[in-house]
Structure 1
Amino acid sequence: MKITQLNLREVKIPLRFQFSQSNNAGALHSHSAILEVHTAEGIIGYGESCPRTYVTGEDIAAVQKGLQLVSPEIKGASIHSIEEVEDRLMQWEKKGIGPSVRCALELAFLDAWSKTQEKPLADILGSKPPEVISYSLILPLLRPASLEQLLPKIRHFSPPSVKLKVDAKLEETVNKIHLIRSFFGQELPIRVDVNGGWALQQAEKIIPRLIEQGITSFEQPLPAGQREGLAVLSQRFGKDVRIMADESLLSLEQAKRLIENGCVNHFNLKASKLGGIFSSLEVYQLAHEHDIPCQLGAHFGEASLLTTAGILLSGMAGAMTAYEGAMGTFLLEKDIIVPSITMGLDGRLDTQAGLPKIGLGLIDMAALEQYTQGPAINPNQLLSSLKSNIKR
């Protein structure tokens, strides 16, 4: 498989409802980097990542810059095996290429390889996902009155569990938990995601109150860099509840430090923030060695390319404590994959029927063109232009 060209697209798809969390005031559109890898055989592989400045520090410009740096190694290169793809990704990580860049590249290479070999990616990767995955419903950060307005709009859902985005307003959070349970049932498992929105003293006050409400999972309660504070929370509450790393967990090295310092007792794995399927699998394996459970996470607004990647990861790793993603057209106005890989109203997804037969999914070119912001960018051309400007 010989690579001839790369094209980068910035894709924004309108959301069916505004999505807010403590580190992001509110989004009305998805925001993805879609990478095209063209081959001499006439194949186009598509990859996706979700650069988030408030997670990895990356935006679409950072993805563009990263691609400019690696494009001289890619253009004209021949890929002979999946192992070669893994090796290249490892080298790029050592060179400081960001996770969103690596994820988009990895998925585009895998998509193109599957199409070239005419084999399902699950077979190529040795992935054996659960026959049925039950996905959680993710609810954004809203005031109680706004949540009360949203719930009737999703009344047809019967999710197995809910993840609620929260801030430091304790009484509002308690009220929202009551609202959700009154709507979906008193036995509904609810976990909370703080997105680093609490200070240590706030967390020490809020966690016991939410434990009283039956909350047993607290995702990223403190800002990403506060490992000592996370360790304090894990020591105090970790026997009874999950203290989970998300924004604090962006690499294998960070995973090692979190484990060595006893910072958390749970990991949230997202392909985009960790640099793809292979690097996420490394983190899972390390966690498994140290008896740290993992959940499969997702950025809001992911298209079905990343949903497929998450399913494949789950089949290469092992059981997860929860599964997120597959929101598809429940959240997006339209997906760029047809059919959209979207969970059912009960949160369940039949992976045997839902996984694409070849590649990561069939691209809806009309939708892709519709939601691409400006022209697709060729990093090779940009690199030539950059070198020319430097010489001047």
Structure 2
Amino acid sequence: MKITKVKVGFVEAPLITPFKTALRTVHTIKNVAVNIYTDDGQVGVGEAAPTAVITGETIASITHAIEHVIAPVIIGMDIKEISLILDRMEQSLYKNTSAKAAVDMALYDLWAKKQRAPLYQLLGGYRHQLTTDITISVNDSEEMVRDSLHAVQRGFSILKVKVGKDARTDVDRVVAIRNAVGPNVVLRVDANQGWTPKEAVRIIGQLEDKGVNIELVEQPVHYSDLSGMHYVTNHTQTSILADESVFSPKEALTLIHMGAADLINIKLMKTGGIFQAQKLCNIAEASGIECMIGCMLETKISVSAAAHFAAANKNITMVDLDGPSLCVEDPIDGGPIFEGEKIQMTDEPGLGFLIENS
């Protein structure tokens, strides 16, 4: 099964409501899709999310990296040598993690199809069903309460609440949501780097004092401020989840050594795909650090790859794969089944998509 062609396209899906964080506002998902073809007629599929404020990548940079740097390196190689292929891709260019992730998941799709098995089973097969949270975008308190209640009505029992745009009112937002949804809904708070270390300690302390019962706070301070992350982690009772601070296995080692977070959020768009994500997950597990699997604004293609990775790994104890649930409609056929907060893996080979060779 040798690689004969790498084809880049695009995938687009409008969102039900605008996605708002401390970093950006998005109305429609517009991502890069990748098909990798082999000499026996198989097609592997992947996706890259251009998230310039986090990975530094754009549609143009992702397209160029795949077509002009990665593709020439991997064309002609045999899928059975997947580790060698992925290592050569990793060495072919610096960073460009979303571009690498799209190719990585397409390669794993082909590799699992070669074995005629679902990818999650080949990677470990720890579970066959996941429970995801859903994101509540940052808005005024009344709108966030309405969105939270609607999410609960849709069957979601875990809410990821975006804050960080206005430290003065963040506590009020979260308290209002807790009062509206009641004590049994799990609340996760994501500041998206929006606070200073002292603001984070003050805000989290107020939430603790008010008994809001937050499961975790994600990336409270700027990604580069590991000393600030350490300060927050060691001056609050609530678990602190590192997101933008950790892209690679090496960065995970540094963060863990510093004691700068209690948990780590793994995203394929940050790690460069499943190959590096598995290394990061193994390091975290060996260090007693549980992980979340997360996503950027992605469609079912790449979210499905993340779901396969999560289903395979015991140390992925939290799931934030709500991309398909945020879209007006699902533009992709096949793959895992997304029904409300439940993600059900199937027995279809690879990622589970049926892509025609054209």
TM-score (norm 1): 0.83
SS of residue matched to 1:115: helix
Show the 5 A alignment for 1:199-218: 199-212=196-209, 213-218=212-217
Please state whether the residue corresponding to 1:175 is helix, strand or coil: helix
> What secondary structure sits across from 1:58 in the alignment?
coil
What is the alpha-carbon distance in structure 2 between the residues aligned to residue 191 and residue 136 of structure 1? 9
Q: Which runs of 5+ in 1 are unaligned?
A: 366-392
Q: Does the aligned pair in 2 maintain the 1:15–1:332 contact within 8 Å?
A: yes
Shift of 1:262: 2.1
Q: What is aligned with 2:15?
A: 15
Mapped pair 1:344 → 2:344: no
Q: SS at 1:31's partner residue?
A: strand
Residues 118 and 352 in structure 2, CA contact (< 8 A), matched pair in contact too: no
CA pair 106-169 structure 1, distance change in 2 beyond 3 A? same
Cα deviation, 1:300-326, whole Å, max 9, x if unaligned, reads: 3x2222222222212332143321114
| Superposed displacement of residue 225, structure 1 | 0.8
Give the aligned partner of residue 262 of structure 2.
265
More strand by share: 2
| Offset, 1:146 | 2.3
The 3 A distance-change label for structure 1 pair 364 and 173 is farther
Q: Which moved more, 1:174-183 or 1:255-264?
A: 174-183
Match of 2:94 in 1: 96
Q: For residue 150 of structure 1, what is the aligned residue in structure 2?
A: 147
Q: Which runs of 4+ in 1 moved over 6 A?
A: none
- Distance 1:129-1:48 versus aligned 2 partners, 3 A rule: farther
- Partners of 2:354 and 2:80 lie apart in 1 by 25
* Residues 4-83 of structure 1 mapped to structure 2, 5 A cutoff: 4-24=4-24, 26-67=25-66, 68-83=68-83
8 A contact 1:56–1:250 mirrored in 2: no
Q: Do the aligned residues in 2 keep the contact of 1:47 with 1:105 (CA within 8 Å)? A: yes
Which of these residues, 131, 135, 139, is aligned with residue 132 of structure 2? Answer: 135
Q: Which residue of 2 aligns with 1:196?
A: 193
Task: Work out whether residues 122 and 312 of structure 1, in 8 Å CA contact, stay in contact via their aligned partners in 2.
Answer: yes
CA distance in 2 between counterparts of 1:321 and 1:350 reads 16
Q: State the alpha-carbon separation in 2 of the partners of residues 23 and 262 from structure 1.
A: 26
Amino acid across the alignment from 2:46: G
Shift of 1:159: 2.3
Mapping 1:347-362, distance limit 5 Å: 347-351=341-345, 355=346, 357-362=348-353
Residues 164, 191 of structure 1: 8 Å contact kept: yes
1:18 Cα deviation from its structure 2 partner = 0.7
2:188 counterpart letter in structure 1: R
Q: Are 1:287 and 2:284 an aligned pair?
A: yes
Structure 2 unpaired stretches of 5+: none
* Partner residue of 1:161 out of 151, 158, 165: 158
**324, 332, 336: which one pairs with 2:327?**
332
- Asked whether the 8 Å contact 1:281–1:316 carries over to 2, the reply is no
Q: Secondary structure at the match of 1:362?
A: coil
- Are 1:232 and 2:205 counterparts? no
Residue 168 of structure 1: CA displacement? 4.9
1:311 is matched with which residue: 302, 307, 310?
307
1:97 CA displacement: 4.4
Q: Give 1:113's match in structure 2, choosing from 103, 111, 114.
A: 111
Matched with 1:174 is 171
Shift of 1:296: 1.4
Q: CA RMSD in A?
A: 2.4
The structure number with the bigger radius of gyration is: 1
* CA gap 1:180/1:341 in 2 versus in 1, 3 angstroms: farther
Task: Rate the CA distance shift 1:178–1:32 in 2: closer, same or farther, 3 A.
Answer: same
What per-residue deviation string (whole Å, max 9, x for no partner) do you get for residues 211-242 of structure 1? 232224111111111111111112222xx221
Distance 1:356 1:306 in 2: 18
Residue 364 (structure 1) shift: 7.7
When residues 97 and 305 of structure 1 are mapped into structure 2, their CA distance, relative to the original with a 3 A threshold, is same
The separation in 2 between residues aligned to 1:320 and 1:75, in whole angstroms, is 33
